[in-house]
Structure 1
Amino acid sequence: MNADKRYQIFSRLQAENPNPETELEYNSPFELLIAVLLSAQATDVSVNKATRKLFPVANTPEAMLALGVDGVKEHIKTIGLFNTKAENVIKTCRMLIELHGSEVPQDRAALEKLPGVGRKTANVVLNTAFGQPTMAVDTHIFRVSNRTGIAPGKTVLDVEKKLLRHVPKPFLVDAHHWLILHGRYVCTARKPKCGSCPIEDLCDYKEKTEF
């Protein structure tokens, strides 16, 4: 995979979806942080169903803290690992109030100190809420990066570093969303839809399918 191919790949993804967005529903950096924290090992659809009821009741750290662990659990009990997630949400809200003036910090180190927030979650928040050129490598991005040859790597961190190095700068801020959506709907895990893929001729995957 050379630089010209990568440029063509992201040009086509951009042409298909000029303004890609996360499928998580949110109206503020705080809501996005909570939604991403809840999305670990859960689908965006299931998180959105829960937050549509949670955020109208509590969309600030103070309001969420007032709900308490049991109150948060009641709203997110349809999501996997909801007990642990509810506790992390409350601990995170307390830290946001005490250490960050109730604002979501805009740097990775501070974000990763929040309970339940790892590198991937921090990258999503930095990229989606604050427009920073970060790369949150989930299972979709890991698969697409390796399968296509855009940024092959044995670990999530390997892929993240290679993407940051190889994705052409004009596409870097939106690349995270394009790759996730491509992996979710086209370059799917069990059987990629190569026949209807806009970058099929640029992809290094050898076992291409017809559909």
Structure 2
Amino acid sequence: MNKDKRIEILTRLRDENPNPETELEYTSPFELLVAVTLSAQATDVSVNKATRKLFPVANTPEAIVALGVDGLKEYIKTIGLFNSKANNVVKLSQILVEQHNSEVPENREALEALPGVGRKTANVVLNCAFGWPTIAVDTHIFRVSNRTNFAKGKDVVEVEKKLDKVVPKEFKVDVHHWLILHGRYVCTARKPKCGSCLIEDLCEFKEKTDC
């Protein structure tokens, strides 16, 4: 895919949604960190249902530590892998209290050193909480990038590097939101809705559908 086509795709996505946001609900960097950690292999909808009950009770590192693993499990037991996630969230909260003055660090290495926090989670936190132009490649972005030929790669790291290279600076802060939402609602996994896609004429997917 050439540069002009990529810019037109991004321009159309921006025009449709000028101020995209994550669908995870949060009011602080710590709430976002917890929500993203809980969202691994789970839907944003399921995480939001749980955190709407959790955050009014515990939305600081100290409060999560006081709640404890068993207490936290009661709030997140509807989310997949809740046992390991409860352990990770309590441990990362303890580290934030002990090493970071209970603040979420604006630092990739420090974030990735936290239990349950990988590169994708760190990218989301840096982007959404601190405005960094990081691109968190999930299954939706991986699919859309490869299917459209926008940024092909054999794994998420390769796609992230390709996107970082080909996406112009003016689009970088918001691009992962546009691609996630496009993959979630239009360029869906089983059957993409090509007939109602605003970038269908620019997409290089060869097996387009009519829906």
What TM-score does the superposition give when structure 1 sets the normalisation length? Answer: 0.99
Cα displacement (A) at 1:32:
0.2
Q: Which digits, 9 at most, give the CA deviation of each residue in 1:25-52, with x for residues without a partner?
A: 0000000000000000100000000000
Cα displacement (A) at 1:109:
0.6
| 3-state SS, counterpart of residue 130 of structure 2 | coil
Query: Identity, % of aligned pairs?
Result: 77
Q: Distance in 2 between matches of 1:149 and 1:127?
A: 24
What TM-score does the superposition give when structure 2 sets the normalisation length? Answer: 0.99
RMSD of aligned Cα (Å): 0.5
Matched with 1:179 is: 179
Q: Distance in 2 between matches of 1:2 and 1:95?
A: 45
Q: Distance in 1 between matches of 2:59 and 2:127?
A: 20
Q: Distance in 2 between matches of 1:158 and 1:25?
A: 29
Q: Which digits, 9 at most, give the CA deviation of each residue in 1:125-171, with x for residues without a partner?
A: 00111110111100000000000111000011000000011011111
Paired letter, 2:39: S
Paired letter, 1:95: I
Q: Distance in 2 between matches of 1:126 and 1:23?
A: 16
Matched with 2:170 is: 170
Matched with 1:78 is: 78
Q: Distance in 2 between matches of 1:129 and 1:176?
A: 14
Q: Is 1:61 the equivalent of 2:61? A: yes
Cα displacement (A) at 1:70:
0.6
Q: Is 1:14 the equivalent of 2:17? A: no
Q: Which digits, 9 at most, give the CA deviation of each residue in 1:44-100, with x for residues without a partner?
A: 000000000000000110011100001100100010111110000000000001111
Q: Is 1:146 the equivalent of 2:146? A: yes
Cα displacement (A) at 1:107:
1.2
Q: Which digits, 9 at most, give the CA deviation of each residue in 1:89-116, with x for residues without a partner?
A: 0000000011111110111110000000
Q: Distance in 2 between matches of 1:175 and 1:99?
A: 32
Cα displacement (A) at 1:209:
0.6
Q: Distance in 2 between matches of 1:13 and 1:82?
A: 35
Structure 2 portions without partners, runs of 5+: none
**Aligned residues of 1:6 and 1:168 also touching (Cα < 8 A):** no
Q: Distance in 2 between matches of 1:60 and 1:34?
A: 10
Q: Distance in 1 between matches of 2:41 and 2:154?
A: 21
| 3-state SS, counterpart of residue 71 of structure 1 | helix
What is the aligned length?
211
Matched with 2:203 is: 203
Q: Is 1:160 the equivalent of 2:165? A: no
Q: Which digits, 9 at most, give the CA deviation of each residue in 1:169-200, with x for residues without a partner?
A: 11100001000000000000011000100000
Alignment of 1:8-47 (within 5 A): 8-47=8-47
Paired letter, 1:164: D
Structure 1 portions without partners, runs of 5+: none
Matched with 2:123 is: 123
Q: Distance in 1 between matches of 2:16 and 2:156?
A: 26
Q: Distance in 1 between matches of 2:11 and 2:181?
A: 15
Q: Distance in 1 between matches of 2:185 and 2:39?
A: 18
Q: Distance in 2 between matches of 1:148 and 1:178?
A: 14
